[in-house]
Amino acid sequence: MPNTLSDENIKQVLEGISVPPQPQVLVDIHMEQAAPNVDIDRIAELIRQDIGLAGTVLKVVNSKYFGLANKISSIQQAVELLGKDCIVNIVNGLAIKSELSDEAIVAMSRFWDSATDVALVAATLAKQVGLQNVDEAYALGLFHCCGMPLLMTRFSNYNNIIEQAFSGTDERIIDTENRHFNTNHAVVGYFVAKSWNLPSHLCELIAEQYNLSTIFDAEKRFHYESNKKNLLAILKMAQDICDIHQVLGKQDTNHDWEKYSSPILEYIGLSQYDYDNLKEGFDDMGSIL
């Protein structure tokens, strides 16, 4: 396993990376790297807060250069495997590529903030309900809408359309996107996740996250891998707790959750009362959101 990657390796890794990192996170990482005693755990925590950086780090560590037997989804583990020098090269490479305008930074701020919030809540929920794959819950929460910023940069009216999509006009959010753009953020996100070498089941979940009527309808008896189903249930709970319908869609009602909360909670083994208590607990933990 190489300890460092060449400039050419880094250039190849960065090809196709289109989700821009948050400028402030880049600044914070550069400041940490300049400190006399670099705290690799602090750098890992900063990377965990940013989709573009986290995706790139996972792409590198899961690439052919490292030859891992199994792909990993843990940002902490990836940073430890890569080491400080490699992380510096990646951050510098992305910093050069991500010269965003002030308008673009403002437009994407809702997306960046909501992704981190959903990831934190998903990881916490996974612990609370006794799931073993906490890192995967965090990764799915962070990357579940990674296709959105690409569509934002491609279509000037994307924010307006996504607000319409959350209004419940169509059966699924992605149905509205499909009508307007002939694609949607779940499909785009799937290919972004694939390009980042995320584990295949996480890529599939990003693509399938809106197929709730099929996956959670007991009468349809649709077979869906239990690990993926657990993660999808956690994701949907986290989205509701974080009020994604308000943050991204500017809607008062979470139509997805209204339609599918009962089968999701039944599957995960929670009553409505239990879930309401969980939500109240997150309200009390407001400092993380």
Which structural domains are found in the chain, ordered by start?
Answer: 7-97 (no CATH), 102-288 (1.10.3210.10)
Please give the Cα distance from 49 to 143 (Å, whole number): 11
> Given a cut of 60, is residue 94 above it in pLDDT?
yes
* Eight-state DSSP code of residue 103: H
> Given a cut of 70, is residue 107 above it in pLDDT?
no
- Residue 141, exposed/middle/buried by CB under 10 A (0-12, 13-18, 19+)? buried
In this predicted model, what pLDDT tens digit does every residue of 218-277 receive, in sequence order?
Answer: 666 668 889 999 999 999 999 999 999 998 889 999 998 999 999 999 999 999 999 998
Q: Higher confidence at residue 262 or residue 38? A: 262
Q: In the chain, what's the furthest Cα-to-Cα distance?
A: 61
Q: What is the DSSP string of 130-172?
A: T-S-HHHHHHHHHHTTTTHHHHHHH-TTHHHHHHHHTTTSSSS
Question: Model pTM greater than 0.85?
Answer: no
Could you tell me which of 152, 119, 165 has the C-alpha nearest to residue 19? 152
